[in-house]
Structure 1
């Protein structure tokens, strides 16, 4: 497996905890790379439990949100469980407005996210 550039992955038992390496996820090329690295988690690596930790993310574009939605669908198709955590209030507000809080399981912190998987 090639080393991902856009994400870092730590294992907590059988759960993959993914943190984003970029604080601003807005560049189209970077979003494409990020999407592929996320897809590889479920398609190539067959990871079944994934926590996406947004602790370092200050801003995401609508294209990045679209990539997250695609990743959620791909994860569901592979029977992988996905939980989002540590989302800043201003980003969480976008999730609320766009009703993505109904699509994603979102927890306040990593411990809560690990507990539901």
Structure 2
């Protein structure tokens, strides 16, 4: 489940342990220092961290278990660069788990005509 990095101490931190991996999006922007703090919090609870980070970021890379690297992009354009690896990650995790990505369970189509 996704949540903003600033919300971690308001509940999600309680879920962290060695069986609960976390994916952290850590581009070099105004959220960078907060993400470094979150990584330390996760690691202190023996959590595994997968980080989506800029290509040349040894500081984050040294602290996490796995990395997905993207080119440095101005913060306004960063979502366009980070969304594709995240979507592919979600797709392949679902495929690995045997989830039918084309027919999600409990999905109801609803159309309201006025």
TM-score norm. by structure 1 comes to 0.42
Structure with bigger gyration radius = 2
Higher strand share: 1
Higher helix share: 1
TM-score norm. by structure 2 comes to 0.43
Between 1 and 2, higher relative CO (CA 8 Å, sep ≥ 6) is seen in 1
